[in-house]
Amino acid sequence: MAWLGWQLLRAPAAAHRDLPMPGWHTALPRWSAGLRMGLASGLLNPKNALFYASLFALLGNAATGVRWFYGAWMFTAVLAWDLAVAVAIGHPRVVARFTRQVPRIERATGVVLLLALGMVLIR
């Protein structure tokens, strides 16, 4: 953890010039390939299964139709949120702004990692 934090603090800002800039989205794979990757990521994420299992545990005595309704509603809510985040993060202006901020983000992350190590060592 300390090594990673130190490396993030030492990373030269010039190394970020190769990051994608506006227009990067033209080089992305087709929409269907992205959908398959996202679906695989969601299905293989154990947090999703735990989330839905805890939801249905709360509905223990509810009728089957109610369970299906809540399951479909939660699936739709999570899907809408994920799509909104993907569209927002993929906007060219957001990507350009994020790209300009990468050196600051890396340095802040380095400080956090070094402080976390310090807190562990103090205990």
pLDDT recorded at residue 17: 56
Q: How many CB atoms lie within 10 A of CB 7?
A: 12
Q: What is the pLDDT of residues 48-90, one digit of tens each?
A: 778 877 877 787 787 888 878 887 888 888 888 888 888 888 7
pLDDT recorded at residue 106: 86
Of the two residues 123 and 19, the one the predictor is more confident about is: 123
Q: What is the pLDDT of residues 99-123, one digit of tens each?
A: 888 888 888 888 888 888 777 777 6
pLDDT recorded at residue 46: 82
User: For the whole model, what pTM was predicted?
Assistant: 0.54
Q: Which residues contact 78 (CB under 8 A, 6 or more apart)?
A: 48
